[in-house]
Amino acid sequence: MSTPAEAPPSLLQRAVWAAEEELGDRNPKLWLVLTFIGWLPPFTFSRLRMRLLRLIGVPIGAETVVCGRISISGAPHAQRSLRIGSGCFINEGCRFETGAPIRLGDRVYVGHDVTFLTTTHEVTAHDQRCGPRTMAPVTVGDGAWIGTRSLVLPGVDIGAGAVVAAGAVVAGSVAPDTLVGGVPAKALRSL
């Protein structure tokens, strides 16, 4: 006696399988909060943004202002790897990729569209240059100022009171009280 053939999976079941494969164990609370924050007009409702970010687990110090849409991505609970100190100012369009921790000290000012990356890849043989993924934390010291559209790469420590000029690509650590700028960023002067 033969067994009846199984019916092929329904369109709904295939959609559920595809969603599970694509999303894995990502954090829908984070996506929901970031989407809602993105709908708010820039430079308004900063207290609401802060409360929502704290509600989903982003440690943020007192008197910090988040001015608009930001992006937090990385590990399944990416928001737990980002720490923002007290009295900071995070401008519109900033991106925090938290494969490893990102720590902003107190009174750190971050310009528009700044990107903090903690993940990169090793360079391997010519048949596939993009090798295994590597991660390193990023730390920004108290009182630092990161200029508009700067890119801070994995493993960078930006010292207290340092200034990163707009558009800089920070590939190496920055000494305290130093102005850096350029691609790649180089020390321009002591402050």
- Could you give the residue numbers annotated as active site? 121
Cβ 166 vs Cβ 184: under 8 Å: no
pLDDT value of residue 12: 80
| Architecture (CATH level 2) of domain 27-190 | 3 Solenoid (2.160)
Tell me: pLDDT of 91 over 80. yes
- pLDDT tens, position by position, 56-78: 899 999 999 999 899 998 877 78
- pLDDT tens, position by position, 23-38: 555 677 888 888 898 8
Give the E-state strand segments of the chain in sequence order. 65-66, 71-74, 82-84, 89-90, 95-98, 102-104, 109-110, 115-116, 119-123, 130-135, 138-140, 145-146, 151-152, 157-158, 163-164, 169-170, 178-181, 186-190
pLDDT value of residue 29: 82
The model carries a pTM of 0.84
- pLDDT tens, position by position, 159-187: 999 999 999 999 999 999 999 999 999 99
pLDDT value of residue 42: 87
Tell me: pLDDT of 128 over 90. no
Sign of CA dihedral 124, 129, 134, 138: positive
What number is the average pLDDT over the span 93-107?
95
Percent of the chain with pLDDT over 90: 61
What number is the average pLDDT over the span 134-157?
97
What number is the average pLDDT over the span 45-55?
90
Tell me: pLDDT of 17 over 90. no
Tell me: pLDDT of 1 over 70. no
Helices 46-55 and 28-39: angle between axes, nearest 10 degrees: 180
Tell me: pLDDT of 2 over 70. no
List the one residue out of 187, 133, 134, 161 whose CA is nearest residue 170. 187
